[in-house]
Amino acid sequence: MHPGANVARVRDPGPDAGAPRETEYRPPHPLDLHATIGIHRRGPRDPTMTVAGSVIWRASRTPEGIAALALRETAPGTVRAAAWGPGAAWALAQVPALCGALDDRDAFEPAAHPLVADLHRRHPGLRLSRTDLTFDALAVAVLEQKVTGLQAFGAWRRLVTWFGERVPGPTPVPMFAPPTIEQWRTIPSWAWHRAGVEPPQSRAIVTAAKRGRSLVAAVEAASDRDTPLTAIRGIGAWTAAEVRIRAFGDPDAVSVGDYHLAHEVGFALTGHRTDDEGMLRLLASWPGHRQRVIRLIRLGGPREPRRGPRLAPEDHRDR
């Protein structure tokens, strides 16, 4: 029985891909599957990732073609995976990394702060996931620059649905793999506008797509992955950090310049807000593992009471 069997009543058959490829992953450590992989979901209506019951579904464009992947924890310590499409073998081979198998926590010292030590104790199954799909992570991060999550998620959903490719398999809803690099490059200006994307963000994605595979290869080969990314106009330190977090599971990446992050870290660790400089001072107690601390804080740390209205999204599509 494949992982999607328990959602058969609501599944959407999609393009026919025949029988799935299947495998099991048994991590040698505790694994919270949903907390680990959830970072890749871009809003509740993300066409590339959804959750139906206990099953996590992902649609991706692998180096070998599109694939639908279903993941379900069938027993403590066992993840059952099934995949459909030409990229199914690659998607299954990627499951351990997606579940945090390459995440090395040996040098992490949570005891530097009692809250971090407590969160680490309470969430032993949190691992840092990686997709190894660099351009997808870059496109998502650029769309999230300087806008609300609601705006970014909506733009991602529209562009992937309009220009991506429907994946095969019994997905619970229609799901789409992101566009190819060439397709990102050729999205017309009217479509960016209609999706709610500001010109600086669309230009950054198109500029990166023009460099195509050479940019991806440079990022993947570099010891300092920020350098080839930030050489692209419109891509700065915040965007590069977001790419490293999702594509490579970087345990030390910090998204400096984030609208909320410094406030969240400061409040959790000191009870008071701070700025980026103050956040970096606080996180210096965990060299090499600053992203891990951030993930723990966001998973279970104290939240500052809201004092005012949420930032209102600005819709420029009718301009």
pLDDT in tens, 194-203: 999 999 999 9
Q: CA nearest 14: which of 22, 25, 4, 29?
A: 4
At residue 296's C-alpha, the angle toward residues 25 and 224, to 5°, is: 80
Q: In CATH, what is the architecture of 11-105?
A: 2-Layer Sandwich (3.30)
| CA 151 remoteness from chain centre | 16
Strands 49-52 and 165-166: unpaired
Q: Where are the domains of the chain?
A: 11-105, 134-300
**Integer Cα distance of 177 and 15 in angstroms:** 13
pLDDT of 7 over the 80 cut:
no
- Quick one: average pLDDT of 126-131? 98
pLDDT of 2 over the 90 cut:
no
pLDDT of 3 over the 70 cut:
no
Residue 198 · residue 97 · CB < 8 Å: no
At residue 9's C-alpha, the angle toward residues 7 and 11, to 5°, is: 65
pLDDT of 5 over the 90 cut:
no
Identify the pLDDT of residue 292: 98
**Integer Cα distance of 116 and 129 in angstroms:** 20
**Integer Cα distance of 143 and 79 in angstroms:** 32
- Quick one: average pLDDT of 257-279? 97
Residue 20 · residue 169 · CB < 8 Å: yes
Q: CA nearest 139: which of 28, 53, 37, 215?
A: 215
Using only C-alpha atoms, what is the Rg of the chain? Answer: 20
Question: Whole-number mean pLDDT of the chain?
Answer: 92
The CATH number of the domain covering residues in 134-300: 1.10.340.30
Identify the pLDDT of residue 304: 87
Higher pLDDT among residues 305 and 179, named by residue: 179
Lowest mean pLDDT among 216-220, 225-229, 262-266, 310-314: 310-314
pLDDT tens-digit series, residues 272-283:
999 999 999 999
pLDDT tens-digit series, residues 28-38:
999 999 999 99
> Taking the model in full, what pTM does it have?
0.90
Identify the pLDDT of residue 316: 47
pLDDT tens-digit series, residues 82-126:
999 999 999 999 999 999 999 999 999 999 999 999 999 999 999
pLDDT tens-digit series, residues 237-252:
999 999 999 999 999 9
Q: CA nearest 108: which of 126, 96, 95?
A: 126
pLDDT of 17 over the 70 cut:
no
The string over 6-45, giving b where at least 16 C-beta atoms fall within 10 Å of a residue's C-beta and e elsewhere, is ebeeebeebeebeebbeeebebeeebbbebbbeebbbeee
Helices (H), the chain: 33-37, 88-93, 95-98, 114-122, 134-143, 149-163, 181-185, 189-195, 199-221, 226-230, 237-248, 261-270, 276-283, 290-300
Task: Dump the DSSP string for 159-178.
Answer: HHHHHSEE--S-BSS--EEP
pLDDT of 52 over the 70 cut:
yes
